Structure 1
């Protein structure tokens, strides 16, 4: 039996994020390896004179400079998040995503020569790598928005994004083993090569939308006809009509941005600071630090996937009155709320041996449950405006500023002394930021398509452009009345809107919106005309 094409989109999306997001962890661990200047790596002795396997930059590159290399990557990535979303909307989202990761992969393959050659060249490559890779996630969201049936969009996003959250664990394991048994730069070649191979597979297999794919079977076509996203991939008409002012003044959109900011704050803390926390407070070995920081990410990946399926089922079944808006808020508040509480408790721990065990348990619970939040803010752009999902995702990805601030705050507080009291302060701040994000999202988030994203047929807008929202409303109203006549209905049947189901079934055409877009709004009918 042939695999549905939307499953291939999700599978390649998962692998793409697993590889590309893993670039950060691979580079970070490689730099730790070459800067430390040790002649042994755990139980695997190496010959310092064997320059093909071992590299020492001790005294040539400092730890702080290696952190600047990571910062350069984040700055480059931050610059192209929103522009990348626009490019995905204006042109082909699948091609933008593929090109982005392909270029980043090729740059990854240059690092084994750049790192020993010149540290300034390395930092420049890292900046450019972040710059070209910044468009990949917004573009991927644009592809999934075109391929996700409305009852499956949560699970398609969460399964794809679970690759990003599993990537640190896989990257650390691969890099540690390859550095020990092959060479210091083996993981750079492995990941860069995998990225190039992935890009080729992506270009060959992925199309912008189901209508463009020649291999979509009839059963899948029927699914898209019944509950498909209702829009195509990147095109000039959609890009020319982006309601920028309405987007930037939309509180539901700001709820997504705040959610992304909080996620980046904590994710950066876990990825870059927790290893140092276990070293400073508990004097843990590198081997122990590896599994203590890696296991929580595995729990998060499992919760991310199962949470996406669960939220989709609850919303579809309308269980206990759970609408899309309520489902998104529940996922976000449960995920981030539990994680914030665990971080608060972590801030009360000391440096005893039993405290380390408690800390690991708290991280497994907190980081694990945070996977539910991916079914909240991460999927939300597809709810608010699926045709602009790449734009909204690009804007929300500017929450990467949280990563920069998180690292800066931690570095400032720790200073020269990473004692337990300084780490407690860091955790109190992180927990407060996270809880503030929970409150903001819980108040302002929405799971329905916004009025600024209601679709107007592009051909009508070109032939008879309108100048105000009231004209758009009247134009659509007249169109629906005229379409209803084809079904034997008259204008008088609709002057008194009392039966939403009858109106909806008779009036909507193939290009109109489905009820699911406004499943929890009282004025869903008015928003569709």
Structure 2
């Protein structure tokens, strides 16, 4: 129907894609508590296991997920995003359905294998979502469409953690959580196949008016993309100090978010009197706040820059610092907090403010290299996720007694130090200027800076 904007249909589908993928990713963080605890469910027939390698199980997803970041970007531009996402979500959902079965018959090894496969499948999702947004989101609507779609990440976590906690404590038991979200993922695939398309030109139901609007809005960007056929300037990129500042920022965010999402449910279960049902609620509550703030950070940062309240560089520093230093302080405080409401408040601060870093290091990829931002993001996110794998493994090594709060304090302090140290490096060495090696003709560094300054002067005159 002509009154339905097809680009918004794509936005909703991508929102639920990220929601379902993050829900499936985070089920295990809560379910693992019930899987290794004998008195969680009221149903005595629900299987439990005596596993000592929970750190390995929780980190297994990130082994393959991190590796795929380096390759998914180029693949996204070579093959159909629609069908790659379909396959990725079928695999992701299918392995969720298999986890309870393989846990019983193959033990922790079966669960680890499924999580590695899920990491491979989900490794394609974020780069392909970027590709779809680049084709469907008009320039004038890009900020709010992007933030709306990516708020699906928090949405998935919000629904998976409390639902998994509730189901695990019920007669249905923890296996039903994997079945539920696996089936929902398959349902999403049906809607995606019917209502999605790789680009406006190939969608059967889009109006000619909307198609022209999107294509005219993105025409200039598409012309630039056509010119990007020359080789990636690897040497210049890998010797660029501003880019390595971005990489360090990515390491801090990846480590912190991975630690929080994988270990907080276990911490709450083992060191407090919070049961599995409330555990899911406590673990997910911060993501409710994060979902709201996610759609505020981006427009606010843009407003500060466009209103000349701050420079672009200062804005990047403010938001990255907000997303790193305050969560670091919250984690140190959390290590000594005993009151359950205090714990909930500190978790909200640590997790919801973490998202502000996406207006720091994340968008800085585009600041320094709009042409190669996808390549840069793949490298930095790959490195960040690779090192983030160590978070649950380090917990397993340091927190050998999960009921010992002193051991957990060590982990919280380590996470806080990583947050703060990486933020200091990024804030000190970041650049908000387009780098000389990003130019199409790739002139010398000095010539490019002169040309760039002339372009900015002309923009000021036009304003």
What is the TM-score of this pair, normalised by structure 2?
0.84
Root-mean-square deviation (Å): 3.5
**Measured at CA, do residues 285 and 121 of structure 1 come closer, stay the same or move farther in structure 2, by a change above 3 Å?**
closer
Match of 2:395 in 1: 410
Q: Contact 1:76 / 1:134 at 8 angstroms: preserved in 2?
A: yes
**Measured at CA, do residues 392 and 209 of structure 1 come closer, stay the same or move farther in structure 2, by a change above 3 Å?**
farther
Using the TM superposition, give the Cα deviation of residue 302 of structure 1 relative to its aligned residue in structure 2, in angstroms. 0.9
Structure 1 residue runs without a partner (length 5+): 49-53, 457-467, 478-496, 506-514, 516-529
1:56 aligns with 2:47: yes
**Measured at CA, do residues 68 and 226 of structure 1 come closer, stay the same or move farther in structure 2, by a change above 3 Å?**
closer
Instruction: Please give the alpha-carbon distance, in whole angstroms, between the structure 2 residues aligned to 1:287 and 1:450.
Output: 50
Q: Which of 330, 342, 361 is 2:318 aligned to?
A: 330
Match of 2:154 in 1: 165
User: Can you list the C-alpha shifts for 1:434-474, whole angstroms capped at 9, x where unaligned?
Assistant: 11222222233344544333346xxxxxxxxxxx7469x89
Q: Contact 1:148 / 1:229 at 8 angstroms: preserved in 2?
A: no
Instruction: Please give the alpha-carbon distance, in whole angstroms, between the structure 2 residues aligned to 1:65 and 1:499.
Output: 56
Match of 1:302 in 2: 292
Using the TM superposition, give the Cα deviation of residue 304 of structure 1 relative to its aligned residue in structure 2, in angstroms. 0.9
Using the TM superposition, give the Cα deviation of residue 425 of structure 1 relative to its aligned residue in structure 2, in angstroms. 2.3
Pairing 1:256-295 to 2, within 5 Å after superposition: 256-295=246-285
Pairing 1:462-481 to 2, within 5 Å after superposition: 469=443
Q: Contact 1:152 / 1:312 at 8 angstroms: preserved in 2?
A: no
Q: Contact 1:209 / 1:232 at 8 angstroms: preserved in 2?
A: no
Q: Contact 1:145 / 1:387 at 8 angstroms: preserved in 2?
A: no
Using the TM superposition, give the Cα deviation of residue 427 of structure 1 relative to its aligned residue in structure 2, in angstroms. 2.0
Using the TM superposition, give the Cα deviation of residue 433 of structure 1 relative to its aligned residue in structure 2, in angstroms. 1.0
Q: Which of 242, 248, 253 is 2:232 aligned to?
A: 242
Moved over 6 A (4+): 232-235, 502-505
Q: Contact 2:33 / 2:276 at 8 angstroms: preserved in 1?
A: no
The farther-off stretch of 15-24 and 185-194 is 185-194
Using the TM superposition, give the Cα deviation of residue 82 of structure 1 relative to its aligned residue in structure 2, in angstroms. 0.8
Using the TM superposition, give the Cα deviation of residue 74 of structure 1 relative to its aligned residue in structure 2, in angstroms. 1.3
Instruction: Please give the alpha-carbon distance, in whole angstroms, between the structure 2 residues aligned to 1:130 and 1:290.
Output: 23
Instruction: Please give the alpha-carbon distance, in whole angstroms, between the structure 1 residues aligned to 2:4 and 2:224.
Output: 22
Q: Secondary structure at the match of 1:73?
A: helix
Q: Which has the higher contact order (CA 8 A, sep 6+)?
A: 2
Q: Which of 36, 57, 63 is 1:69 aligned to?
A: 57
Using the TM superposition, give the Cα deviation of residue 262 of structure 1 relative to its aligned residue in structure 2, in angstroms. 1.5
Using the TM superposition, give the Cα deviation of residue 80 of structure 1 relative to its aligned residue in structure 2, in angstroms. 1.0
Match of 1:420 in 2: 405
Instruction: Please give the alpha-carbon distance, in whole angstroms, between the structure 1 residues aligned to 2:459 and 2:364.
Output: 29
Instruction: Please give the alpha-carbon distance, in whole angstroms, between the structure 2 residues aligned to 1:387 and 1:200.
Output: 34
Q: Contact 1:88 / 1:234 at 8 angstroms: preserved in 2?
A: no
The farther-off stretch of 210-219 and 272-281 is 210-219
Structure 2 residue runs without a partner (length 5+): none
**Measured at CA, do residues 393 and 269 of structure 1 come closer, stay the same or move farther in structure 2, by a change above 3 Å?**
same
Q: Secondary structure at the match of 1:201?
A: helix
Instruction: Please give the alpha-carbon distance, in whole angstroms, between the structure 2 residues aligned to 1:327 and 1:151.
Output: 21
Q: Which of 98, 108, 123 is 1:134 aligned to?
A: 123
Using the TM superposition, give the Cα deviation of residue 23 of structure 1 relative to its aligned residue in structure 2, in angstroms. 1.4
1:401 aligns with 2:386: yes
The farther-off stretch of 411-420 and 393-402 is 411-420
**Measured at CA, do residues 301 and 503 of structure 1 come closer, stay the same or move farther in structure 2, by a change above 3 Å?**
closer
Using the TM superposition, give the Cα deviation of residue 299 of structure 1 relative to its aligned residue in structure 2, in angstroms. 0.9
Q: Contact 1:85 / 1:394 at 8 angstroms: preserved in 2?
A: yes
Q: Secondary structure at the match of 2:389?
A: helix
Aligned length: 453
Pairing 1:482-521 to 2, within 5 Å after superposition: 500-501=457-458
For the pair shown, which has the larger CA radius of gyration, 1 or 2? 1
**Measured at CA, do residues 27 and 432 of structure 1 come closer, stay the same or move farther in structure 2, by a change above 3 Å?**
closer
Match of 2:85 in 1: 97
**Measured at CA, do residues 204 and 82 of structure 1 come closer, stay the same or move farther in structure 2, by a change above 3 Å?**
farther
**Measured at CA, do residues 324 and 76 of structure 1 come closer, stay the same or move farther in structure 2, by a change above 3 Å?**
same
Match of 1:391 in 2: 375
Q: Contact 2:320 / 2:361 at 8 angstroms: preserved in 1?
A: yes
